[in-house]
């Protein structure tokens, strides 16, 4: 067992940084580099938010304690742990060789109603519904919240639950899902859209269903494969995760028997650091990442002329010339392995600094261009064509500004813009950035960024 039941002082410090909430108003002050290449050193990638959040929904599938490590210490994880505790899951934190670790035990008395306020704070709360329904036979939940990046319907989840035999009722903004007597049964479910969280939710629900479930046209994101691989090590029978069709043979409750899930590295964080390095670093090493997960980004950066060195678990971006010598390229976001929607805002920031005109087409969400006016105020030349498309013309010098972070990925794009810009920027609504990036300012300080976190009194 690689885990010991104690918390290190650095983890305690990080945990206290997690006491932030939308009510705690903080801002960043950044002194920009004015287009100079000055950043250097090494920056480490943390465990993937969108992998850790899903394994934290899995304890309901287990008859013993589930151990998880390399968990990013971020707001969304804290809020999901609050929900787990409210549902009766026992949670304890530990130190491990691979960072922050948790032991999660759902063997006691469990509740099946998600607390409204907490569930509405993050989209990932919906992933709990599959395992809770499969384990307890019923789940009640409000429409999930999360970043305001589009409509974010849940029809695929509801359709999947019905196909597994459950009844679905909706009243006053609450969903009440009940499994048939005898429990969920296997079914064939074809997704109208390859939704990431619906794939994870229905895959986990099917683990405890009777018989065989086939999920078709599902998402391929690496976090789904990591989840399935671990569940299989603990007794699940899932085949095809990472392809468009997943087959699950139902089994009794899983047993972890001390096995530890190591959260894979965050590919969106790695990609964002790569973009920052391409714009503002002389020589930046990104460690603890999985380069094959960001191939779609590496390909376009290389096409633009950026020098990226791919190592074993590392990326290095080493360039001497000004970004204006890089060439622009068009981007169309796509489900994995295409260009990720979560890197759309950082890549638009990149495109403002390089030469040429680019069409950026956000195909997944209709509300993911809300940061564009912020970049335009800084001096970027971006024309919004419709809620899905922008034309970016570069290079344009950016100047420091007061910015409002609209959501966590766009918030990081604002940070990158502020680092590149000339003069001082203030970024408000830091809470949105803390939702997804652990101690971001400490890591940026380590590579030479001039950044301060200010808590408003």
User: Among all residues, which ones are annotated catalytic?
Assistant: 147
Residues 192 and 452: their CA atoms lie apart, in Å, by 45
Is 193 a residue that touches ligand EPU (CB under 6 A)? yes
Is 409 a residue that touches ligand EPU (CB under 6 A)? yes
Q: Supply 298's token pair.
A: 């590496």
Is 50 a residue that touches ligand EPU (CB under 6 A)? yes
Is 121 a residue that touches ligand EPU (CB under 6 A)? no
The least distance separating ligand EPU from the CB of residue 201, rounded to whole angstroms, comes to 9
Residues 351 and 4: their CA atoms lie apart, in Å, by 46
Collapsing DSSP to helix, strand or coil, 297 comes out as helix
Residues 84 and 69: their CA atoms lie apart, in Å, by 17
The least distance separating ligand EPU from the CB of residue 435, rounded to whole angstroms, comes to 8
Is 195 a residue that touches ligand EPU (CB under 6 A)? yes
What is the full DSSP assignment across 90-108? EEEEEEETTEEEEEEE--S
Is 68 a residue that touches ligand EPU (CB under 6 A)? no
Collapsing DSSP to helix, strand or coil, 216 comes out as strand
Dihedral angle computed from the Cα positions of residues 151, 51, 265 and 38, in that order, rounded to the nearest 10 degrees: 30
Q: State the DSSP code for 67.
A: E
Task: Choose which of 45, 83, 179, 196 interacts with ligand EPU (CB under 6 A).
Answer: 196
Collapsing DSSP to helix, strand or coil, 114 comes out as coil
The least distance separating ligand EPU from the CB of residue 193, rounded to whole angstroms, comes to 4
Is 133 a residue that touches ligand EPU (CB under 6 A)? no
Task: Choose which of 100, 157, 339, 431 interacts with ligand EPU (CB under 6 A).
Answer: 157
Which of 69, 200 has the CB closer to ligand EPU? Answer: 200
Is 198 a residue that touches ligand EPU (CB under 6 A)? yes
Contact pattern from residue 339 through residue 378 relative to ligand EPU, giving x for each residue in contact according to CB under 6 A and a dash for the rest: --xx---------------------xx-------------
Sheet holding 281-287, edge to edge: 39-44, 281-287, 314-318, 308-310
Task: Choose which of 155, 295, 402, 442 interacts with ligand EPU (CB under 6 A).
Answer: 155
First-last CA distance in the chain: 44
Which of 77, 354 has the CB closer to ligand EPU? Answer: 77
Q: Under a CB-based contact definition with an 8 Å cutoff, are residues 108 and 88 in contact? A: yes
Binding residues vs ligand EPU (CB under 6 A):
49-50, 53, 123-124, 147, 149-157, 193, 195-198, 219, 341-342, 364-365, 408-409, 436
């Amino acid at each position: 067992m690689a885990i010991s039941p104690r918390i290190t002082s650095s983890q305690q410090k990080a945990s206290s940084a997690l006491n932030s909430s939308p009510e705690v108003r903080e801002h960043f002050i950044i002194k920009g580099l004015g287009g100079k290449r000055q950043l250097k050193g090494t920056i480490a990638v943390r465990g993937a938010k969108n992998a850790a959040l899903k394994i934290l929904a899995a304890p309901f599938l287990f008859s013993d304690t589930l151990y998880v490590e390399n968990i990013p210490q971020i707001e969304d994880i804290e809020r999901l742990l609050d929900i787990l505790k409210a549902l009766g899951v026992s949670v304890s934190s530990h130190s491990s060789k691979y960072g922050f670790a948790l032991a999660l035990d759902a063997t006691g008395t469990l509740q099946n109603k998600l607390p409204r306020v907490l569930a509405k704070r993050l989209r990932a709360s919906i992933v709990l519904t599959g395992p809770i329904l499969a384990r307890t036979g019923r789940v009640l939940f409000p429409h999930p919240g999360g970043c305001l990046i589009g409509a974010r319907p849940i029809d695929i989840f509801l359709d999947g639950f019905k196909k597994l035999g459950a009844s679905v009722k909706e009243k006053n903004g609450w969903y009440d899902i009940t499994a048939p007597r005898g429990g969920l049964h296997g079914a064939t479910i074809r997704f109208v859209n390859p939704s990431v969280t619906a794939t994870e939710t229905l895959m986990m629900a099917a683990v405890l269903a009777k018989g065989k479930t086939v999920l078709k046209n599902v998402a391929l994101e690496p976090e789904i494969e990591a989840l399935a691989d671990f569940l299989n090590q603990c007794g699940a029978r899932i085949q095809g995760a990472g392809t468009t069709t997943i087959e699950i043979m139902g089994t009794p409750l899983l047993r972890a028997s001390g096995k530890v899930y190591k959260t894979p590295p965050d590919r969106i964080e790695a990609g964002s650091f790569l973009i920052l390095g391409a714009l503002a670093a002389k020589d930046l090493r990104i460690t603890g990442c999985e380069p094959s997960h960001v191939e779609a980004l590496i390909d376009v950066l290389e096409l633009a002329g950026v020098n990226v060195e791919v190592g074993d678990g590392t990326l290095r971006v080493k360039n001497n010339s000004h970004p204006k010598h890089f060439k622009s390229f068009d981007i169309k976001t796509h489900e994995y392995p295409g260009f990720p929607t979560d890197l759309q805002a950082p890549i638009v920031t990149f495109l403002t600094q390089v030469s040429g005109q680019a069409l950026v087409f956000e195909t997944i969400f209709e509300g993911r261009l809300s940061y564009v006016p912020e970049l335009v105020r800084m001096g970027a030349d971006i024309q919004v064509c419709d809620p899905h498309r922008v034309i970016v013309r570069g290079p344009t010098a950016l100047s420091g500004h007061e910015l409002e972070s609209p959501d966590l990925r766009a918030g990081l794009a604002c940070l990158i813009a502020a680092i590149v810009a000339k003069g001082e920027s203030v970024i408000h609504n830091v809470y949105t950035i803390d939702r997804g990036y652990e101690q971001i300012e400490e890591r940026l300080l380590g590579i030479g960024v001039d950044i301060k976190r200010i808590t408003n009194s």
